[in-house]
Structure 1
Amino acid sequence: MKAGAKLPDVTFHTRVRDEAVGGDNPFRWEDKTTADYFAGKRVVLFSLPGAFTPTCSTYQLPGFENGHGDFAAQGIDEIYCMSVNDSFVMNKWAEGQNLKNVKVIPDGSGEFTRKMGMLVDKDNLGFGMRSWRYAAIVTDGVVEAWFEEPGLMDNCPEDPYGVSSPETVLKHLVEAKTAEPA
């Protein structure tokens, strides 16, 4: 996936809070498409190997959450975190991380990740198929800038992190804005 590529059309099976459902678990299924998330918006999408994992929970997700205002100042409408986890896991992780700004997208079957060319086998960690770590700036469903960690491979013995960090993505946005003609 590179700049200029269109995101794949996928339907994501999400669970959304709905007080009308009542009871102890007031959630209902809601299908959302790639267009629902990306059409008409400029967003940051970042994907990671798994909810609740150390790097994702300690650095990457909190960095994007805490930097939300800085990203908004650079013209970003939304920040999305995606993982090859189901909606139940992603919602619980978002709750545990006290997310107010970043929205999670569950790619439970890995369909979007596979179509992005980023689905890797992580059997060496007992994970199964997961996403390689990356970030992208996406405008109206088209990749504007791409940030992929080096070493894309199945069963990678390491979990590289830096290229897709919030700091790197924000630096790119600031530099691109500075380079724009007045």
Structure 2
Amino acid sequence: MKAGFTLPDVTFHTRVRDESIEGPNPFRWEDKTTADYFKGKRVILFSLPGAFTPTCSTYQLPGFEKGAADFAKHGIDAIYCLSVNDSFVMNKWAESQNLENVSVIPDGSGEFSRKMGMLVAKDNLGFGMRSWRYAAIINDGEVEAWFEEPGLSDNHGEDPYGVSSPENLMKHLEEKAASAA
């Protein structure tokens, strides 16, 4: 993936809160498309191997959540976290992380990750098919900047993290702003 790549057109099956539904599970299904998330906006998309996993829950997701206001100062309209998990898992993870600034995207079947060339086997961890860790700045559905962790492969023995960190994306945005000034 390089700058200029257009995101694949995918439908994501999400669960959204609906106050008109009574009971302990006031959610309904709502399909959202790639365009619903990315059209007409400049966003950060970061993808990771799984909700509730250590690096994702301790560093990457909290870092983007805490840095949202600073990213907004650099023209970022939204921050999305995508994982090959279903909507139930992603919503529960978002709730457990007290997210206010980052929205989660469930890629339950892995279709988006596959079309992005980022779907990898994680059978060595008992995960099955998951997304490789990456981040991107997306402008109106097109990749503006790409940050992929090294070693993309099935059943990788490690979980590299650094290239796709919020700190690295902020550094990129600051350098871009400085060179434009």
TM-score over 0.5 for the pair: yes
1:46 equivalent in structure 2: 46
Aligned residue pairs total 181
CA offset digits 1:137-181 (Å, max 9, x no partner): 00000000000000000000000000000000011011111111x
**CA displacement at 1:128 relative to structure 2:** 0.2
AA matched with 2:62: P
Where does structure 1 differ by over 2 angstroms across 4 or more consecutive aligned residues? none
AA matched with 1:87: S
AA matched with 2:59: Y
TM-score by length of 2: 0.99
Alignment gaps of 5+ in structure 1: none
Distance in 1 of aligned mates of 2:20 and 2:3: 42
Distance in 2 of aligned mates of 1:3 and 1:117: 15
* 3-state DSSP of counterpart to 2:25: coil
TM-score by length of 1: 0.99
1:33 equivalent in structure 2: 33
1:103 equivalent in structure 2: 103
* 3-state DSSP of counterpart to 1:28: strand
1:60 equivalent in structure 2: 60
AA matched with 1:13: H
* 3-state DSSP of counterpart to 1:20: coil
Over the aligned positions, Cα root-mean-square deviation in angstroms equals 0.5
* 3-state DSSP of counterpart to 2:20: helix
1:1-182 to 2 correspondences below 5 Å:
1-180=1-180, 182=181
Q: Percent identity?
A: 81
Alignment gaps of 5+ in structure 2: none
